[in-house]
Amino acid sequence: MPIAAQTFETQRSEIAGFKIADIVKNYGTPAYVYDMAKIEERVRDLSAFDVVRYAQKACSNIAILDRLRRLGVVVDAVSAGEVKRAIAAGFNPKADPHCIVFTADVFDHEALSVVKEYGLHVNCGSPDMIQQLGKAIPGSSVTLRINPGFGHGHSQKTNTGGPQSKHGIWHEDVVECLRMADLHNVIVTGLHMHIGSGTDLEHLSQVCESLEKIALQVGRTLTTISAGGGLPVPYRQGQTYVDLDQYYSLWDATRKRLEASFGHPLSLEIEPGRYLVAESGFLIAEIRAIKKMGENMFYLLDAGFNDLARPILYGAYHPISIAHRDGRISKQTADVVVGGPLCESGDIFTQEEGGFVAKRELPVASVGDYLILEVAGAYGFVMASNYNGRYRVPEVLLENGSMHCIRARETFDDLIRGETIPPVH
Residues belonging to the active site: 343
User: How many whole angstroms separate alpha carbon 141 and alpha carbon 222?
Assistant: 10
Q: What are 360's strand-pairing partners?
A: 336
Q: Name the residue type at position 99.
A: C
Tell which residue, 61, 25, 71, has the closest CA to residue 406: 61
Tell which residue, 102, 2, 8, has the closest CA to residue 373: 8
SS3 label, residue 335: strand
The residue length of the chain stands at 425
Angle CA 75–122–201, to nearest 5? 65
User: How many whole angstroms separate alpha carbon 158 and alpha carbon 153?
Assistant: 5
Question: What is the CB neighbour count within 10 angstroms for residue 406?
Answer: 18
**b vs e for 158-174, b when ≥16 Cβ sit within 10 Å of the residue's Cβ?**
bbbbbeebebbbbbebb
Angle CA 114–116–117, to nearest 5? 65
Question: What is the CB neighbour count within 10 angstroms for residue 261?
Answer: 14
Q: What are 159's strand-pairing partners?
A: 196
User: How many whole angstroms separate alpha carbon 127 and alpha carbon 178?
Assistant: 9
DSSP 60-94: --HHHHHHHHHTT-EEEESSHHHHHHHHHTT--TT
How far, in Å, are 2, 166, 400 from residue 180 at the CA level?
Answer: 43, 20, 51
Tell which residue, 423, 31, 35, 47, has the closest CA to residue 268: 47
Rounded to 5 degrees, what are φ and ψ at 178?
-65, -40
